[in-house]
Structure 1
Amino acid sequence: MKNVLFAFVFSLYTVSISAQSQVDFGVKGGVNLTFFDVIEGDFGPNAQVDVGYYGGVFADFKMEDGFHIQPEVLYIGISDFRFLNVPIYLKYDIKYNFHILVGPSLNYFFDFFTNKFKVRADITLAYDLSDRLDLHMKYTLGFEELSPDVIFLGLSYRL
């Protein structure tokens, strides 16, 4: 867990040095749908789906030409499992109020005895409902057999 927090603090520090303009901070949360028994990107005929929740904080470092760096720290609960999710996104303003965020996510699982740390890949689409509120949908891809795919639906509020 110390490695995950160190990586997040280090990324915030590095980005804050190179950021040339505004930094927005905010909170986010919502529900997640976790798909187990996924085979090669196909949810299969009898995929087990668990509904969970998530909440956390983010920092949005605006760069040039519509690019941003957006690290986040999220607490996630799915059934009996609890873990920290720390994605580090490259965010791009597609058009008007639409954004795409892509990047790795570092995950620390509290409930596993071994392999507590996993790296996954995230892709997010976000739509700004107002200057402070956005609606987002995130897809997390697990690279290992025991890493299920997850869809997140939620809201973000910039402080």
Structure 2
Amino acid sequence: MKKIILTTVLISLLAVAAKAQYVGVKGGLNLSNLNIDGVDDENMRFGYHFGAFINLPISDGFAIQPEVLYSTKGNKAHYNQDFGIFGEFNTDAKFKLDYIDIPLLAVFRVGDAFEIHAGPYIGFLTSAKVEFDGDVDDEFDFDSDNFKNLDFGLVGGVALNFSALQVGARYNYGLQKIQDSSTADLILGDAKNSYFQVFAALRLGNYD
């Protein structure tokens, strides 16, 4: 089902590309966190994103911009807790979650070079890996089955245009709890994705 949805979205984007003011490719840095309740310490995951987008003008100062991005999320957390029947954790855990994200952005152009981007996103989990270092049984299994396949949230940011080159920054705030099992509930609580992005993009077409 996930592949069918992604294929449908890609075909739809290609269908409207001919009407676009410009298309582009982009990539950059992700600084992500999960905001897990009750852990002793959390550190961001340094990752990346890359993909493509289409800019569809509505007026001189406003456009709609759908994007398709491969994006890494997660964090590193230190646990020193008693989880009852699951035992006591005194361990570090690295959560490595990878998604296909599809933002649908409203783009407000201010002046010749400055843009404000805002809108929702939907994400599809492509892989999940959790690495434990500490008091955890070697047979403890914590993989993608413990995470929801669907993520969604809000995006806000700014961009600066220098002819065909665009640079910018965004904050992505997840609204969906990512855990999908009783074990994940114990370890992650009400964790949601949140991540800051810095990017560079190359625009092709009528971007003036």
TM exceeding 0.5: yes
1:22-61 to 2 correspondences below 5 Å: 23-37=21-35, 46-61=41-56
Distance 1:38 1:140, change over 3 A: farther
Corresponding position of 2:181: none
Q: Residues 2-151 of structure 1: matches in 2 within 5 Å?
A: 2-7=4-9, 9-10=11-12, 13=15, 23-37=21-35, 46-78=41-73, 80-111=96-127, 112-113=144-145, 114-128=147-161, 130-143=162-175, 144=177, 145-151=190-196
Structure 1 residue 142: Cα displacement: 1.0
4+ runs of 1 displaced by more than 4 Å? none
User: Are 1:154 and 2:186 an aligned pair?
Assistant: no
109-118 vs 130-139, which moves further: 109-118
User: What TM-score do you get using the length of structure 1 for normalisation?
Assistant: 0.81
Distance (whole Å) between structure 1 residues aligned to residue 34 and residue 114 of structure 2: 30
Alignment root-mean-square deviation, CA = 2.4
Q: What are the superposed Cα offsets for residues 50-70 of structure 1, whole Å, 9 maximum, x if unpaired?
A: 100111011111221311111
Q: Mark the runs of 5 or more structure 2 residues left unpaired by the alignment.
A: 74-94, 128-143, 178-189
| 1:146 partner letter | A
**Corresponding residue for 1:42?**
none
Distance 2:24 2:174 in 1: 26
After TM superposition, the score normalised by the length of structure 2 is: 0.63
Q: Can you give the 5+ residue segments of structure 1 that lack an aligned partner in the other structure?
A: 40-44
The number of residues matched between the two structures is 149
TM-aligned CA deviation for residue 16 of structure 1: 6.1
